[in-house]
Amino acid sequence: MKSGRFWAWVVFALGAAYFFIPLIATVEFSMRMRRGAYSFDAYQIVLGDERFQATFMYSVVAAIFTIILGVLIVVPAAYWIRLRLPQIRPVVEFITLLPLVIPAIVIVFGYIRMYGSNSPLPFLASDTGTNALLVIGYATLALPYMYRAVDTGLRTIDVRTLTEAAQILGAGWGTIITRVILPNVLIAVLSGAFLTFAIVIGEFTMASLLNRPAFGPYLQNIGANRAYEPAALAIIAFAITWGCMSLIQILSRFAPKSANRPN
């Protein structure tokens, strides 16, 4: 028994080392900009760079629109599938997994061919159209995470009975979704939203090929031309992602509770 515990700790320590050593090394390297002393110079340069602020804000706005689009598509779709079309759930699950197996570069080339200035839907003919197309592309990339998060949330409530209880009390579909279903899967939606945020903030391929001033291409550009700043940026991106994950944990404490899931 004791020997088992010992080896469990050894495996844990190896896993932790595999995770933390590169992270610590990156932090250490990012602070070595000033010769002979540790400093936050690289961070100051990165955070003070106008392009950092502009591209980061661009990606944040794109992420917000992506989350809104994702929620508008996924919540009603996942709800309807659970309520009325449970038999097509495996098909929908497969479709939502496709963005994981089809590389982003294939999707974006498809977009460029389909939505060029000569197409009936010329998204690429204007900046606004291209931005919209980027958001649509991001929503596609985030689909596997958003769908799974919402579907898992729906699994924790009795969708059919709650829907029927609301219907018999006079509620229409809009009221049912906004006042009964959405509040009860809010934490799941938020999980999906933060995962979407994390994906969008670091995404490079789509933004680069659609020539959008997003954070991903900026990261790549800095990485290719500077020494210490990319390490600082990597740590900042890491902190943002972990911040998102922590927010999910904090917000889940405020989730509506049910008799089946009291704590």
Partner 1 sequence: MAEPFLSIQHVRKSFGATTVVEDFNLDVAPGEFVSFLGPSGCGKTTVLRMVAGFEEPSAGKIVVAGKDITRLKPNQRNVGMVFQAYALFPNLTVAQNIGFGLKVAGMAKAAIDSRVAEMLDIIKLPQMADRYPYQLSGGQQQRIALARAIAPKPKLLLLDEPLSALDAKVRVSLREEIRSIQKKLGITTIFVTHDQEEALSISDRIAVMYGGKAEQVGTPFEIYNRPATKFVANFVGTLNVLEGTVTDAAAGKVRVNAQEVALQGKLNGSKSGDTLSLALRPEAISLGWQPGHDTSLSGEIAEVHFLGSVIRVRVGIGGNTVSLDTFNNSTAPPPVVGEKADISFSSGDMLVLH
Residues near partner 1, by CB under 8 A: 157-158, 161-162, 164-172, 175, 180, 183-184, 256-259, 261-262
Q: Please name the residues in contact with 21: beta carbons below 8 A apart, sequence gap of 6 or more.
A: none
Smaller CB separation from partner 1, 90 or 174:
174
DSSP 8-state code for residue 103? -
Q: For the chain, first and last CA: distance in Å?
A: 32
Shortest spacing between CB 20 and partner 1, in angstroms? 39
Residue 49, Ramachandran bin (φ over 0: left; ψ between -120 and 50: alpha; else beta): beta
- Other C-beta atoms lying within 10 Å of the C-beta of residue 223: 14
Q: What is the C-alpha to C-alpha distance for residues 175 and 168, in angstroms, rounded to an integer?
A: 12
Smaller CB separation from partner 1, 140 or 184:
184
Shortest spacing between CB 201 and partner 1, in angstroms? 30
Smaller CB separation from partner 1, 63 or 157:
157
Shortest spacing between CB 191 and partner 1, in angstroms? 17
CA-based angle 109:112:118, to the nearest 5? 150
Shortest spacing between CB 124 and partner 1, in angstroms? 43
Tell me the two tokens of residue 252. Answer: 């889940």
Shortest spacing between CB 155 and partner 1, in angstroms? 14
Smaller CB separation from partner 1, 178 or 246:
178
Q: What is the C-alpha to C-alpha distance for residues 79 and 151, in angstroms, rounded to an integer?
A: 8
Smaller CB separation from partner 1, 89 or 257:
257
Q: Are 159 and 82 in contact (CB under 8 A)?
A: yes
